Each structure stands twice: as structure tokens, then as C-alpha cells.
Amino acid sequence: MSFPGLLSAGILSAAVPAQVEELPHVVEPTIVWVAIAYFAIVTVIGAWATRRTRTAGDFFLAGKGIGLIALSLSVMSATLSGFTFIGGPGLVYSIGLGAMFIVLPAALTNAMGAWALAKRLRLMAEVRRTITLPDAIGARYRSPLAQGLAGVSILVAVIGYMATNILALGLVIDAVFGIGVGWGIWLGMGITMAYAVGGGIVAGIYTDVFQGSLMAVASVLVFLFTLQAGGGLSGISETILAADPGFLGPWGHLTPIAALSFFFVFGMGSLGQPHVIHKFYMLRDPLKLRWYPLVTTFALIVAMLLYFGVGVAVKALTVEGALDPLTNPDNATPIFLLNYTPLILAALVFSGVAAAIMSTVNSFMNIGAAAMMHDIPVSLGKRIDNELLWGRICTVVISVAAALLAQHSGMLVAFLGVFGWGLFASTLVPALAIGLNWKGATRAGAIASIGTGLAITLVFETLAFFELYSFPVGVTVSGLSLVLSILIFFGVSWLSRETAADTLDPDIRVVMEA
């Protein structure tokens, strides 16, 4: 079973070369036992969270009761996924410094998110019973249609993202336990579902705290080993420059437009990632937002050391001949860990990869279930009575659907995963991030921009996947759909500007002016 770009999918566009092979098997008693311990801890946290989950507010918003550290670490964990530890280093190995443009905006994105969204969303939760991001869109524009469209966009992207991540989880579990990808999918899904269905986002947040802490520590340790193996950063650079100077050029092996496009899409696009920004609702004390960008950005930068370190070190080691050139770039991390780090550290990282994927899947389960059970019915004028029960049922339905898709849909799963980031960005950034900060934005502008993002992403990603049409080098569907949805949002809002005041309730106005 092989899938192109699996661990990169959902993040990258067709501009990035695809990987086509499974991960190497690393079945070692130490790695297996650490993985079992890891899953046991996650299960215990899930059981504890289940006892704390009594209402829909607990299930979807952790009772609005989490602290700053929990918020920061869960945002970090949900942001990173398995891509940072497997697909990312593989991408650095393949295209050099150009791959860093995906993570390069990190020093800016959390502060941008804090100014543009965190305060507004958290205050929105003070004045309204908002449990989802489409709720905020619906409240901002007094528009069930805008809420429903945003809910549909989220659901479509979530199922694709989840299927891709679950398949990646199956590959990682198969690599560790040697049980086959099919069983790996269902074992990983079973454990994730066990805590997500019972404990909802409470379980997700606190497993993220555990997983995020471990990821950060493991990343620093692995980075130190990469420096040791490559003879320091200067040694790594000199080795690579002698054989492949373009690798350490400012854009790596990408064109300037392609690299800058990554910077734009992953920078501005961060304002539309629901599994991350949804967590702003949950902070117990809004005044604690003061430290959010500082803490979260630090955690992200630390966790990304592995992304960069492994990618360049493995490149240098293959240039030196210490390692054979990789046939599958996704193998960069497993091969480095097995050859250059103590087994216990390798074990922690392998478990950390599984855990990172699980934490992302858990976040998607939660927001997908909310879109299905809450946003889409609300847009049709219906309200579900027992939101906790239906939230749990929808979590199971989405999870099983995504696992079946992962196991049986072949190449389709990779296709579904490719457009997740871009779809979130183009449908949510204008209506939410700009709209919550601009009283001149209108309902028509929001609906037009969400529709534009949805249509452009689905049509052009489909055409590209089936090789019916492709953009010129450097132009990505996600970048183009994001920029067009922003321009459409401004244009249509300007054209319908006389209606702007009609779409603003007094309490929402207070939130926007705070």
C-alpha cells in the first residue's frame, strides 16, 4: 500500500514532490514498550476527561476553563501534526531551505492571531453561546447561510484531513508494531476515538499538553544529535554547499514565487485553521491572552528544531556517504533516529509522531462533529436538543467514515488531504479574521468570499489531481484561492456597503470595539 505525499498531504500543494513508500519497520522492544506506555497514558487522560465532560460546553469548549499553558501547548500540538516530525524533515531533505518557508512565519503568526482573532473570539464567547467558529460568523453577520457555508467548508476539509492523518497514523503504528497498515488505522483510530468520544475536547486539550511537552523536549534532544552527527551547523553547511549549493540557497530548490507563496499561505492562512483558533474560546481568563503569543511561539520554535535539523543533517550525511540516498524522503527521520540517537529517544519520537497525529485528529473530530451536529442544522433553522449526545454520535460517525476512507479509497485519500489547509484559509480568513475587525464588512461579502474559497479550491484541486489542468510553477491553488477570497470579500463588501450597519448586533459591536 503506498500513497503519495501522505505525511505531507493536507499541508502541501502540488508544487512539492510526492513520497511513494511506506515507513521502514522499526519493531524493537524498547520502541514497542514506550509506545504502549504512551497509549496507556493517553487512555488514562481520556478516562479522566470523560468524567469531567458533562455538558456540550465541556465537550466542545472544555467548559471555557483551560489555562494559558494548556492553551499554548494544545495549539502547538494541533498545529504541528505528524508532518513536523516526518513529512517536514523529508521535505527539507528534498527541496532544501525552501521547505522552511512553511514554518518561517511562525514568529509572526501567533501574535497576528492574538491581535486579529484571540481577543475577539474570546470576548464573543462572553456575549454569545458560541461553540464553533461558524457560530461566530453567523453572529457577526446575522446570517445562518454564512454559518452553514462555513460549516460545510469545515466538514469537507475535516474529513479529508482526518482520512489523511489516520492513514499516516496507520503507517506509523505499522512501522512500530509491525501489524499492517489496516490494523494500524483501526488501532490508532480506536484509541483516539476512545478518548475523543468520551472526553471531547477536554481529553484533546490535556493529551495535547502531555504530548506537546514531550514533543518539545524530544525535538531539542534530536536537534543536538543532528549537530553532533553533522559536525555542527557549519560542518553541515560546508558539506552540503560543496555538493549542492542550491540546497542552502534562500529558496532552496523552489522558485522565489513558490517559496514566498508558502510564506503567504502558511502565514495568513494560519488565521483560518479552525482546529487551532477554535481553542481561543476555551481560555478561562481572557486577560491571560497577554502571554499567549510569547509562550506559544517559543514552544513552536523549539518543536521545529527537529524539522530543520534532521532535514539538513540527513542531507549532509548522504552527501558524505555515511547514509545511502533516500528513496523515500519521509524516511529521513526514522533513519536518522535509528542510526544516530539512543534507542529510548527514537522510541519517544516515534510515539511522539503517533501522538502528534492523534492530537490533530482529535481536534478535527471535535470541530467536524460540531459542524455536523450544530452549524449545518442551525443554518437550516433546526437546533439539536441533546448536543452532548449528538456530539458524541457525530464524532463516531465522522471517525468511522474517515477511517473507512483511509483504508479503502486508495489514491483519493491523498487528494482529500491536499486541499485542507487552503480550504480552511480561503473560506475562513476573510469572513472571520478581517470581518471581526472591520465593521464595514457585509453579509454579502462574507458569503461571496466563503463561496469563492470553496469553489476555487475544490474545482482547481480536482483538475490538478486528475491532471486536467495545472498552474504555472510557483502558483498554488491554496495561495490563489486565499488571495481571491480576500479580494472578493473587500470588493463585495464595498459594493454592498449600505447594508453593513444592518448586519451588526449591539453586543457584537461592543466585542468589535473592545
Scan residues 461-490 and list those touching other proteins (CB under 8 A): 471-475, 479-480, 483-484, 486-487, 490
Cβ proximity to other proteins, 274 vs 479, nearer residue: 479
Site string for other proteins, 121-160 (x = CB under 8 A): --x--xxx--------------------------------
- 511 touches other proteins by CB under 8 A: yes
Amino acid at the residue 464: A
Q: Using CB under 8 A, pick the residue from 294, 384, 401, 463 that binds other proteins.
A: 294
How many residues comprise the chain? Answer: 514
Interface residue with other proteins, options 8, 261, 395, 426 (CB under 8 A): 261
- Cell numbers at 121, concatenated: 473570539
Residue with smaller CB distance to other proteins, 183 or 263: 263
Within 13 A of 337's CA, how many CA atoms are on the CB side?
31
Residue with cell 486508495: 410
Q: Which is nearer to other proteins, 358 or 429 (CB)?
A: 429
Q: How far apart are the first and last CA of the chain?
A: 53
Question: Quick one: 248 or 343, whose CB is closer to other proteins?
Answer: 248
Which one, 25 or 129, has the nearer CB to other proteins?
A: 129
List phi, psi (to 5°) of 251: -105, 5
Identified binder of other proteins from the candidate list 104, 145, 179, 220, rule CB under 8 A: 104
Residues 175, 283, 356, 433: which binds other proteins (CB under 8 A)? 433
**Could you say whether residue 114 binds other proteins (CB under 8 A)?**
yes
d(CA 96, CA 249): 8
Tell which residue, 155, 127, 129, 133, has the closest CA to residue 431: 133
Q: List the Cα angle 207/209/210 in 5-degree steps.
A: 65
Question: According to the binding rule CB under 8 A, does residue 23 interact with other proteins?
Answer: no
Residue 52 vs 288, nearer CB to other proteins: 288
For the bound state, the minimum distance from the C-beta of residue 44 to other proteins, rounded and expressed in Å, comes to 34
Q: From the CB of 191, what's the least distance to other proteins, in Å?
A: 35
Residue 117 binds other proteins (CB under 8 A): yes
Secondary structure letter of residue 66 according to DSSP: B
| Stretch touching other proteins by CB under 8 A, among 28-36, 113-121, 375-383, 458-466 | 113-121
Residue selected from 256, 325, 342, 410 as contacting other proteins according to rule CB under 8 A = 256
| Residue 141 CB, nearest approach to other proteins (Å) | 16
| Residue environment code for 347-385, b if the CB has 16+ CB neighbours within 10 A, otherwise e | bbbbbbbbbbbbbbbbbbbbbbbbbbbbbbbbbeeeebe
Q: Decide whether 100 or 348 has the Cβ nearer to other proteins.
A: 100
Q: List the grid coordinates of 430.
A: 476573510
Minimum CB distance to other proteins, residue 101 (Å): 8
Shortest reach from residue 154's CB to other proteins, in Å: 21
Rounded-to-integer distance, Cα 491 and Cα 191, Å: 47
Which cell numbers hold the place of 92?
527539507
Nearest distance in Å: CB 286, other proteins: 6
Q: From the CB of 506, what's the least distance to other proteins, in Å?
A: 7
Cα distances from 218 to residues 35, 349, 352, in angstroms, run: 14, 6, 8
CA distance 394 to 63: 19
> Is residue 286 close enough to count as binding other proteins by CB under 8 A?
yes
Query: Are the C-beta atoms of 395 and 365 separated by less than 8 Å?
Result: yes
* Of 107, 344, 380, 495, the one binding other proteins by CB under 8 A: 107
Nearest approach, Cβ of residue 494 and other proteins (Å): 7
Q: How far apart are CA 337 and CA 331, in angstroms?
A: 10
As a whole number of angstroms, the distance between CA 153 and CA 458 comes to 10
Residue 335 in contact with other proteins, rule: CB under 8 A: no
Residue among 156 and 240 whose Cβ is closer to other proteins: 240
Task: Identify the residue among 180, 342, 410, 440 touching other proteins (CB under 8 A).
Answer: 440
Query: Using the rule CB under 8 A, which residue among 73, 78, 100, 319 binds other proteins?
Result: 100
Burial class (CB in 10 A: 0-12, 13-18, 19+), 129: exposed
- 141 exposed, middle or buried (CB, 10 Å; 0-12, 13-18, 19+)? buried
Q: Which of residues 218-237 bind other proteins (CB under 8 A)?
A: 232-234, 236-237
Binding segment for other proteins among 95-103, 200-208, 342-350, 399-407 (CB under 8 A)? Answer: 95-103
Q: Which residues on adjacent β-strands are paired with residue 66? A: 283
Of 180-188, 265-273, 378-386, 407-415, the segment contacting other proteins by CB under 8 A is 265-273
In angstroms, the CA 190 to CA 27 distance is 21
Q: Which of 220, 291, 377, 404 binds other proteins (CB under 8 A)?
A: 291
Which residue stretches of 231-291 are H helix?
A: 232-243, 256-268, 274-277
248 sits near other proteins (criterion: CB under 8 A): yes
Query: CB of 359 within 8 A of CB of 380?
Result: no
